[in-house]
Structure 1
């Protein structure tokens, strides 16, 4: 991979700066691909000192990032200062976080960076500043719009032993059931199959489609949605030549033997997907946005204001996100 990864700073008051510093310090042991931070160098330097590290930090142009990475943490400024103390977002937090994401996406779309990796944001902080999107995923889809319609973003949670995709995401369970349609399941799964092939090198992905109700509806006695919504989606996907099985009882899909029989589990709602992967790989899970014209990964955790600046933040998920982003970006060449 000849180009570096663009890592957005995230919420400055959260653990984004902590795990960024920790990841760079482990760059050799973890065999990390070169990356640079889109954000405020002073913010990172202040956090490093708070953590007891005197690390070299260099403000550079993107073209200098790869050469700099071995001896200093490269930072490409956004022009937005971030002055928040650990755990205490301030008026600079939202503009700094939003600018970092915008710039990182611009870097990839202009061909100067290989992929986007995003540190955690605090949606409540962004909402107070007038942020109009439900979260990272929807904002990235808007930035990817270009001259046409915004793509359909799909959230995949990944670790080496499990990949899961929720069809409905950040809505109440009541709304998830009301919104679920055969078309939504089909369009989501087609995007998953396309990106598993093109980005992860899985030539013939195997999909396990979870049922919505207990025991996948028990032939209608525990709810008809699996028979009227999920099963027709599976039939359409199979007619497309996709190796999809279901609807399957979700309570038997995630034990070790079951996980060997598929490459990705398509789940009907948020917790059905996220509970198993966070149980299996809480510290190493990666959030991947599929369906975009560029690669985007992120640690699968939040800003953790309560431990920001304490030295207790675990960089494992960020390290996994950086390595997966490099793998996905390099897949077309391989």
Structure 2
């Protein structure tokens, strides 16, 4: 007997667009996905009903709390939430959902978790140090190193992985090391093989400085850190090349020969990816003992409650989570 693939979904910041995107995606049930896939949605029941009604989609599934292959795990808000209006009192609510999904995945209840966007500032305002989903997932799962990767969709998607994530630009050079980049490249190579079924991933690496340092005239990180890391990784069997100037690397002529580009900092590569695929790309955390995907956008407070937010990225994140869960061959102990 085949045990269904089980996906957990956290609805994110209650004042943002996460709850209504979830409501829209599941307004027609789960018919867009195979019948052997089941979903557990974490969120406040009344909030999901309210947002569904605000944007004009069916709220029945949230009223009953159960439907075909979908279960609502009701997590009560600390205080009522108004679309577009942040309230630090709900900071703990967001982490409660996330913790429950993570624990379920670690226990084998879920094959993957999909996270709607949250508001980092609100969690910090609530008195909890929080730098982002990626870092929090690493801490909660005990992962020694994780890698944020954004990916487009389609047959040859653009994938951009980050050597550093949510850091001030002035802190980036000090955060780069040979060992760190070697570990990052190993994680990218392993997860592209095991979770994306790419037999021999080809990875391109950017430099840190303009023109990849111009042979040391514009910085020595390429000479002293990035090149040695690329060479060591290549010697270990990883198909990696670089460092290349970031301003010319993102050209179809080069990208067609690679499955992933590793950039040195957040805004070096993500603007390129989001310009070309925004609203349809996804965020994936590599290096975790669990599968986690997310959307490519933030909480969009200005759109919350209007019905104008596009659920394309959430659908893509769910589909990627399902694909990765099948790739690693996991089986949940139960669906709810």
Same fold (TM over 0.5): yes
SS of the residue 2:192 aligns to: helix
Q: Which residue, out of 269, 276, 295, partners 2:265?
A: 269
What stretches of structure 2 of length at least 5 have no aligned partner?
Answer: 331-336
Counterpart check, 1:127 vs 2:124: yes
1:143 and 1:330 map into 2 onto residues whose CA distance is 24
SS of the residue 1:258 aligns to: helix
Q: Which residue, out of 221, 245, 248, partners 1:249?
A: 245
Cα offsets for 1:179-232 (capped at 9, x unmatched): 211122111111111111111111111010111122212222222221111110
Task: Give how far 1:92 is off.
Answer: 4.4
Task: Give how far 1:60 is off.
Answer: 7.9
2:62 and 2:23 map into 1 onto residues whose CA distance is 13
SS of the residue 2:26 aligns to: helix
Query: What is the aligned partner in structure 2 of residue 19 from structure 1?
Result: 21
Contact 1:197 1:205 in 2 (8 A): yes
1:265 and 1:27 map into 2 onto residues whose CA distance is 36
Contact 2:123 2:130 in 1 (8 A): no
Cα offsets for 1:247-274 (capped at 9, x unmatched): 1121221122221111110111111121
Counterpart check, 1:158 vs 2:157: no
Task: Give how far 1:35 is off.
Answer: 2.2
Contact 2:222 2:243 in 1 (8 A): yes
1:151 and 1:221 map into 2 onto residues whose CA distance is 34
Cα 1:201–1:177 shift into 2, 3 Å: same
Counterpart check, 1:216 vs 2:212: yes
Superposed counterparts of 1:1-334, under 5 Å: 2-25=4-27, 30-31=32-33, 34-58=38-62, 68-69=67-68, 74-80=71-77, 83-145=80-142, 150-160=143-153, 161-333=157-329
SS of the residue 1:274 aligns to: helix
SS of the residue 1:54 aligns to: coil
Task: Give how far 1:42 is off.
Answer: 1.1
2:58 and 2:164 map into 1 onto residues whose CA distance is 44
Task: Give how far 1:58 is off.
Answer: 4.4
Query: What is the aligned partner in structure 1 of residue 334 from structure 2?
Result: none
Contact 1:289 1:296 in 2 (8 A): yes
Contact 2:5 2:325 in 1 (8 A): no
Cα 1:133–1:92 shift into 2, 3 Å: closer
1:121 and 1:291 map into 2 onto residues whose CA distance is 21
Cα 1:129–1:92 shift into 2, 3 Å: closer
SS of the residue 1:218 aligns to: helix
SS of the residue 2:144 aligns to: coil
SS of the residue 1:222 aligns to: coil
2:267 and 2:46 map into 1 onto residues whose CA distance is 38
TM norm structure 1: 0.91
SS of the residue 1:86 aligns to: coil
SS of the residue 2:171 aligns to: helix
TM norm structure 2: 0.90
SS of the residue 2:25 aligns to: helix
Q: CA RMSD for the aligned pairs?
A: 2.1
Contact 2:24 2:52 in 1 (8 A): no
1:60 and 1:137 map into 2 onto residues whose CA distance is 33
What stretches of structure 1 of length at least 5 have no aligned partner?
Answer: none
